[in-house]
Structure 1
């Protein structure tokens, strides 16, 4: 009728009303509800702990620590839970682990630190957290690469910029004698080349393999970096 109510004048009208009510109930039941957080398991071993650090399962981590689990336990690659959380960018997990005494300067099999992991993943907030808590930003891995080298190679401009602002050595060399500027030129990281030059990176340092400086490398390509580096080179 005009009021919007269904008129029940025939059995068909009643059937339509029942069908309408059934449809509304089904629609309500199909509404997606957020899944409740899974309770922590009764027992948490090291593998569970590492997985929890990867996936930010804080209840599992708390259970592991509350039952005396070693916070600095290592996986087969000698990565700690802190390494793994830094790789994934889980800032809340990292805070929990640091508060619980995790070794902030632990190294994996390749001597990479948590700072290397944060830079490799491009997690600026994690990098800041680590440095604010005393992490070593000059540590070198087995290839003598610093976190600044890693930031440049992975193209993480913000991490590179923060390291530089915190005083990272612009001209540090890896095992082959490459500086971060060598890497930036080789990988054509134009914005990072600008960043390094702006802060005074040395364009004359040669590496130990090809005995070339960044300018020598850039001459192999015809790109924007060529003009930029040549101008900087001739100023000195």
Structure 2
């Protein structure tokens, strides 16, 4: 395992994109297993400043786990938006050598999913919140996804229960959705936690374990030293963006 920050020298930086993603071409979705590559990326929110991601040249074969240490929440959120098709970009963001911008948005989001700490929950039961990922899923399928994501509340619990929406609960429900949809690539956006927050790190380690076999991008917003962040032991590579 490599748990030290690394970056690789990028080629000449491309021009910044001018618009959010729109009017994508519908190239055929390549077959699995999926290999994601990110290099020389630049983007920006509409009307905002150009956001670059440093020298990072990242290749993720299926099952690889990488922690991205974001210098700002804005930059980390922009990267997630690029990968999910909400922002256009310049550079390389490919799925099996096909640029993400050339794929239909629904195809991209059928491969790459976001498990956010502030994921939206509908005013219904936990089970129905998870089932939106696959409406034809059986009760057993939903229960299994909840169990694998570490949600230890009854599936018929309603989300207005504070035990669901605080802490890691909201993100665990989002992970259960992703597991039910069987998405092969997951972006795990961690909440702000301080160094030494053992409870938060333990919950995060459980979420990483639940994503076993899937490609994982763990976006971390806190400044950490590799030797002082036990959570980094659960990933294969660490990069600063």
How high is the TM-score relative to the length of structure 1? Answer: 0.23
Structure with the higher fraction of residues in strand conformation: 2
Query: Which protein has the larger Cα radius of gyration, Structure 1 or Structure 2?
Result: 1
Q: Which protein has greater RCO, CA pairs closer than 8 Å, 6+ apart?
A: 2
Structure with the higher fraction of residues in helix conformation: 1
